[in-house]
Amino acid sequence: MRMSQAKTTVKQPKMKMVTIYVMGKKYEVPEGLTILKALEYVGYRLIRGVGCRAGFCGACATVYRFKDDYKLYTGLACQTTVKDGMYLVMIPFVPAKKPVYDIEKLKPDASTVISIFPELTRCVACNTCTKSCPQEIQVMDAVQEILRGNLEKAAHMVFDCIACGICSMRCPAEIVHYHVFQLVRRLYGKYIAKKSKHLEDKLKALEEGAFKEELDKLVTAGPSVWKRLYESREIEK
């Protein structure tokens, strides 16, 4: 007697969907997606407001609300997961004028920073900037350290700033934190941080052409060699 095995079909669990609104238009997307992935799921081709997809570049600042909730929420679209009833809009960039200055002519003190960014003195210590930071930087405390003249401490506190601009969007004093922090880090690096003898030696060697032959070979090697070198590189654990 020949026996045939009955075919069995494995039922896939039904995907749970949530409703989101993008620029006012309603979409159904799978639960658990990040905002970026949800936008692509519904057909958006992202050519602005997207970069590293890992919380490092700060390109995907997003503002969102929920129905019957007056609060305005912010987050990075690559890290924030969609929730049912989310009304969202991505910000292509945060409009903020960047002052022009010559770092060679500046002094590393509070008066220098305040002269370029006078709005710092309007800080009301509301801590909204800190609450909105996706990197969990103590933004308000860093501002206070700058006002006290402790640029070294402030520079270390804001080392992980990715310049997404979310804190500045929420600031009632109109402080452009990420431009302020960039200046502070530059002042610290140029005037306060201890000089690295190792780095100075390497720079001198570069200027004297110590690596010119190797660099020229690498530049002219071509994509296939670059790919092989990249894939075989030693990765620090």
Question: Domain limits of the chain?
Answer: 17-90, 103-192
pLDDT of amino acid 3? 44
- Selection from 180, 193, 198 nearest residue 137 by Cα: 180
Q: Please tell me which residue, 67 or 142, carries the higher pLDDT value.
A: 142
% of the chain with per-residue pLDDT over 90: 65
Least-confidence region, from 10-14, 25-29, 114-118, 130-134: 10-14
Residue 22 tokens read as: 């993008």
pLDDT tops 90 at residue 50: no
Q: What's the pLDDT band for 11 if we cut at 50, 70, 90? A: low
What local confidence, expressed as pLDDT, does residue 178 receive? 93
- Output the CA angle 163-166-170, nearest 5 degrees: 140
Q: Which helix (H) or strand (E) holds 86?
A: strand 86-90
17-90 to CATH, choices 3.40.50.970, 3.10.310.10, 3.40.50.2000, 3.10.20.30: 3.10.20.30
Question: What b/e string do you get for 128-153 counting C-beta neighbours within 10 Å, with b at 16 or more?
Answer: bbbebbbbebebbbbbebbeebebbb
| Stretch 146-173: mean pLDDT | 94
Q: Is the pLDDT of residue 37 over 50?
A: yes
> Which of 9-18, 37-46, 122-131, 184-193 is the least confident region?
9-18
Burial class (CB in 10 A: 0-12, 13-18, 19+), 29: buried
Structure tokens at 169: 């969007």
What does DSSP say about strands 17-22 and 86-90: parallel, antiparallel, or unpaired? parallel
- Write the CB contacts of 112 (distance below 8 Å, at least 6 apart in sequence): 106, 187
